[in-house]
């Protein structure tokens, strides 16, 4: 029986949220307009207020602004963003937790709605066994701005993790030993795990964690 441990990325493994920081970087470099940035900000406000939002929407705002760059160039831009900004924001206590699970022989899978170039770099540093992320459509070597399928957000996180694990290990060949998340939208993933850990949870997830008896941890740290 393969034991899988799932980690959310933004706000769990990472101090902060990669899409927010990336948008700021793109604004400073003049790559996206203030109008697009305002749309992203307004989406984020609605998301935090738990107003129903379309998960594809915000990702398409960003990638449509990058559609004039070749996909390889966009990927490298995001990879550089990870190396220059996000790498130092990986939480030390999160990395220790990853190591402990690896010592126990468990597989580490990152499940995040962040983007492939970012998660590819992060999974290498974390030495994760796999990662599941938002996939963006490419045509003729350029991103179209459209999302392929559904972003792994909310209930989709466990749905997509299950689909991957079933195909790789068969339905009866694996179990979700533990899951880590920070946002109420991570509740379906955490509920499916034998052990659930709420990392610096928002108010709603903290309430659920206390009700369910889940472990609550504070992994925040001051980024140098």
Query: Could you tell me the CATH number of the domain that includes residue 75?
Result: 3.40.50.1000
Count: domains in the chain? 1
Q: Which of 36-40, 150-154, 199-203, 214-218 has the lowest mean pLDDT?
A: 36-40
Higher pLDDT: 54 or 159? It is 159
Using only C-alpha atoms, the chain has a radius of gyration, in whole angstroms, of: 17
Residue 17: inside a domain? yes
* Cβ contacts of 79 within 8 Å, gap of 6 or more: 117, 118, 120, 121
Residue 208: inside a domain? yes
Residue 202: inside a domain? yes
- The pLDDT value recorded for residue 43 is 81
Parent domain of 109: 2-217
Residue 222: inside a domain? no
The sign of the dihedral angle between the CA atoms of 81, 163, 189, 99 is negative
Residue 70: inside a domain? yes
Residue 160: inside a domain? yes
What strand order describes the sheet that includes 130-139?
142-148, 130-139, 107-115, 2-7, 174-181, 195-199, 215-217
- The pLDDT value recorded for residue 36 is 86
117, pLDDT greater than 90? yes
**Do residues 124 and 82 lie in contact, with contact meaning Cβ atoms separated by under 8 Å?**
no
Tens digit of each residue's pLDDT (9 = 90 or more) over 5-29: 999 999 999 998 888 888 888 888 8
In the chain, % of residues over pLDDT 90: 74
In the chain, % of residues over pLDDT 70: 100
Higher pLDDT: 161 or 61? It is 161
Mean pLDDT value of segment 28-47: 84
214, pLDDT greater than 90? yes
Residue 161: inside a domain? yes
Give the other-Cβ count within 10 Å of 133's Cβ. Answer: 22
Residue 224: inside a domain? no
């Amino acid at each position: 029986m393969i034991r899988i441990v799932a980690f959310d990325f933004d706000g769990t493994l990472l101090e902060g949220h990669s899409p927010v920081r990336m948008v700021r970087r793109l604004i400073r470099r003049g790559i996206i307009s203030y109008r697009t940035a305002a749309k992203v900000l307004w989406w984020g406000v609605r998301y935090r207020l738990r107003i129903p939002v379309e998960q594809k929407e915000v990702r398409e705002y960003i990638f449509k602004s990058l559609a004039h760059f070749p996909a390889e160039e966009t990927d490298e831009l995001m990879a550089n963003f990870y190396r220059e900004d996000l790498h130092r924001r990986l939480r030390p206590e999160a990395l220790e937790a990853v190591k402990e699970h690896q010592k126990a022989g468990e597989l580490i899978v990152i499940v995040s709605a962040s983007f492939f170039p970012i998660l590819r770099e992060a999974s290498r540093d974390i030495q994760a066994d796999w990662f599941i992320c938002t996939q963006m459509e490419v045509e003729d070597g350029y991103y179209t701005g459209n999302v392929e399928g559904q972003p792994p957000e909310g209930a989709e996180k466990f749905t997509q993790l299950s689909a991957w694990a079933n195909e790789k290990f068969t339905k009866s060949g694996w179990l979700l030993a533990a899951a880590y998340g920070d946002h109420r939208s991570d509740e379906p993933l955490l509920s499916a795990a034998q052990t659930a850990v709420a990392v610096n949870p928002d108010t709603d997830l903290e309430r659920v964690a206390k009700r369910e008896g889940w472990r609550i941890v504070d992994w925040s740290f001051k980024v140098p």
